[in-house]
Amino acid sequence: MSSWRLVFFFVITLASAGLAGAQPDAITSYKKQEIMVPTRDGIKLFTRIYTPVNNTNPLPILIMRSPYCDWNIGVLPPEKDPYVKELAKGGYIFVYQNIRGKQKSEGEFIMEGPIDRQNKQVIDEASDTYDLIEWLLKNTNNTGKVGQLGISYPGELALIGAIKPHPALKASSPQGTVGDFFLGDDFFHNGAFRLSFGFEYSYGEEAIKGDTTFPFSEYDLFDWYYDLGPLSNVNRKYFHGDIPTWNNFLAHPNYDKFWSSKAPVNYSDTPLIPILHVGGYWDQENMSGPQVLYAKMEKYDVYKNNYLVLGPWCHGQWADSNASKIGEYIMGRNTASEFRAIQKRWFDYWLKGIGDGHFDEATCYQTGSNVWKQYSSWPDKSAETKRLFLRDNKELSFEQPESHNKSFDAYISDPDNPVVYRSRPIEITYSDSSDWESWLTQDQRLVNHRPDVLSYKSAPLDSDLTITGNVNADIFASITGSDADWVVKLIDVNPDYDKKLPDASQVEIIIAADIFRARFRKSFTKPERVPPGKVEEYKFSLHQVNHVFKKGHRVMVQIQSSWFPLYDRNPQKFVPNIFMADKEDFIKSTQHIYRNKHYPSCIELPVVKSDSKSMSLN
């Protein structure tokens, strides 16, 4: 999903040269039509169509379908839009459509409705996409070739369009797309509920037909969410049962059929048309989706239609006019324009026949070194898994602990004093002043002083350390409560004194991170109480990276038990449904993180072999 500010860039595809009767990059302006396009059941959907001025030749069609408000859907003509203005010069028919129940479109809006891939008669987003293409083929001057893309929710709709594709749909690029709402994107991560995002997004999309913002009474929302108390207060004080998605959170606190049927990764398999997945390493909303969707579809890619681009971006940043910096991380180059060159080649070939059609399986930006890398398979097969162990004195080592005693580090997790997930003030998520887009690259020294955050750090590296692929946390822990959250971060620490960039000295930037709710350690479908005092293993993904820890930098691992108010406060006393917890259920818990031979807590790193032979953390 996405902020309304990014929706401006959720425009569709690219244009290029080579049109019959037109000179390369000769188009300078587009004209707009607004039409209510009918679907098979008679519902009419609001649609904007842009066609080049003074062009009489057939053109390919590029579509984006979206739920977002009317004034954000294709308002800027293609030649003026920062995302496509250079590409629009080659000429396409650009089409933007509001989905059912949003703004001027008729029908009922159902957020993230399930898709039945087998039933071709059911009416859903796939059938509406099919009907739009059918109408466009008959009512526009086109070549009979259609492409679709979008970022976030529009990206999911681009994926859905490719699931049961119209014969004229020749290529799709789902970007920043949800993979699974409960396991790794948008509303939950590994069962932990994303409070501020879930609250504000569900209200914004469902309170009225157009997008809106909850009327908060404070600017810094940390205290507002804290004073909210248990999640049961949301309906009691504010929503009163009127927000369907919030009601679904309450009714489905575990990974049941409701969530599994909505997850795009569960209804995606064989890519029937060429698909270009696009994602960002620091995507604060849907980091996991593009990665897991590519991996799932790659298993079934018998037609060689599955491709991937990963870059150093927050959610949708590749659509900006310039992406050379995110938070504390400096790229030193405009990675957005570089991506759009990749995207231009993609649609030029599939819709216009321009180019040789030779595309790299995966094009993944390498952070740290700030270069693009191309791969014939992803993750990189040259990487080998190395375990980075937590050691005594808050150190890290690739050598496994030898001690047989119950060596551990401990802290008290107090729901009444949660760890903030980004620097304050915590503004409204989608406000102009919000740091929501860049918080994953904020300096993590903001929490180093807290006694409930454990920070393990290596010595300065004596050579570069390259990791490419999946990063996993494998933590052994016990608690005095009966439920807990585990937040694990892999961090790159800048040199103690950087002479070239003194202000960047010792800055700590997250490279990979995620949260895991302890009750789901055995099953996301059937949560279980954690036995107090018993050592349990928690192994979960921190997602994929492509990063170089440069010589002189340090590697850090942080562990904590809250990330507020992005994630709700775990009561730490097991209750069947956290959404129905009472104030009395919130208790302090002492957390023990073990680091010995029997319980070797570690981070699994995909180390490129050439580096793994010479690396040292001592």
Lowest mean pLDDT among 60-74, 236-250, 470-484: 60-74
CA angle 241, 246, 250 (to 5 degrees): 90
pLDDT at 2 over 60: no
The pLDDT of residue 20 is 36
Give the pLDDT confidence score for residue 71 in this predicted structure: 60
573 by Cβ neighbours in 10 Å (0-12 / 13-18 / 19+) ranks as middle
Q: Is the pLDDT of residue 15 over 80?
A: no
pLDDT of residue 70: 64
| H helices present in 545-608, as ranges | none
Q: What is the pLDDT of residue 14?
A: 33
pLDDT band, very low/low/confident/very high, at 615 (cuts 50, 70, 90): very low
Q: Please report the pLDDT score of residue 4 as a whole number.
A: 33
User: In the predicted model, is pLDDT for residue 617 greater than 70?
Assistant: no
- For residue 300, pLDDT over 60 is answered with yes
Confidence of residue 610 (pLDDT cuts 50, 70, 90): low
Q: What are phi and psi of 384, to 5 degrees?
A: -125, 145
In angstroms, the CA 488 to CA 471 distance is: 11
- The architecture in CATH of the region 184-259 reads Orthogonal Bundle (1.10)
Written as one string, the DSSP assignment of 500-525 is: S-GGGTT-EEEEEEEEEEGGGSS-SS
Phi, psi torsion values for 315, nearest 5 degrees: -65, 110
The string of pLDDT tens digits covering residues 163-214 is: 999 999 999 999 999 999 999 999 999 999 999 999 999 999 999 877 789 9
Region 487-504: mean pLDDT is: 93
pLDDT in tens, 384-397: 999 999 999 999 99
What pLDDT shows up at residue 404?
Answer: 74
Residue 14's Cβ-side half-sphere holds a number of Cα atoms within 13 Å equal to 24
pLDDT value for 26: 80
Write down how long the chain is: 618
Cβ neighbours of residue 364 under 8 Å, at least 6 residues apart?
308, 309, 310, 311, 372, 373, 375, 378, 468, 546
| Alpha-carbon distances of 124 from 41, 148, 265, rounded to whole Å | 11, 17, 17
Strand, coil or helix: 121 = coil
Q: Which string of DSSP letters, residue by residue, matches 215-243?
A: --S-SSHHHHHHHH-STTHHIIIIITT--
Whole-prediction pTM: 0.94
Tell me: pLDDT of 313 over 80: yes
CATH topology of domain 4-179+268-375: Rossmann fold (3.40.50)
3-state helix, strand, coil in the chain (%, to 5): 25, 30, 50
pLDDT digits (tens, 9 = 90+) for 497-543: 988 889 999 999 999 999 999 999 999 999 999 999 999 999 999 99
Mean pLDDT, range 246-250, rounded to an integer: 98
**How far is Cα 317 from Cα 437, in angstroms, rounded to an integer?**
9
> How confident is residue 10, by pLDDT bands cut at 50, 70 and 90?
very low
* % of residues, the chain, pLDDT over 70: 94
Kindly tell me if the per-residue pLDDT of 78 is higher than 90: no
Split at pLDDT 50, 70, 90, the class of 444 is very high
| Amino acid 395: pLDDT | 97
Amino acid identity, position 473: A
- Contact between 511 and 544 under an 8 Å Cβ cutoff? The reply is no
- Name the residue with tokens 């551990």: 408
Burial class (CB in 10 A: 0-12, 13-18, 19+), 523: exposed
Round the average pLDDT of the chain to a whole number and report it: 92
13 band by pLDDT with thresholds 50, 70 and 90: very low
Asked whether residue 438 carries a pLDDT value surpassing 80, the answer given is yes
Which DSSP helix (H) or strand (E) runs through 162? helix 153-163
pLDDT digits (tens, 9 = 90+) for 250-290: 999 999 999 999 999 999 999 999 999 999 999 999 999 99
Q: How far apart are CA 241 and CA 238, in angstroms?
A: 9
Share of the chain above pLDDT 90, in %: 84
40-66 b/e (C-beta count within 10 Å ≥ 16 → b): eeebebbbbbbbbeebeebbbbbbbbb
Q: Model confidence at 103, in pLDDT bands (50, 70, 90)?
A: confident
Q: Which residues contact 500 (CB under 8 A, 6 or more apart)?
A: none
Confidence of residue 613 (pLDDT cuts 50, 70, 90): very low
Q: What pLDDT sits at residue 611?
A: 44
Question: Is the per-residue pLDDT at 584 higher than 70?
Answer: yes
Q: What is the pLDDT of residue 69?
A: 61
* pLDDT at residue number 88: 85
Query: Does pLDDT of 602 surpass 90?
Result: yes
Q: Residue 318 and residue 278: Cα distance in Å, rounded? A: 9
The third-level CATH classification (topology) of the domain covering 383-612 is Jelly Rolls (2.60.120)
- DSSP-assigned letters across all residues of 177-226: --S-TTTEETTEETTEEBHHHHHHHHHHHHSSSS------S-SSHHHHHH
Query: Domain ranges in the chain?
Result: 4-179+268-375, 184-259, 383-612
By mean pLDDT, which of 81-90, 341-350, 444-453 is the weakest?
A: 81-90
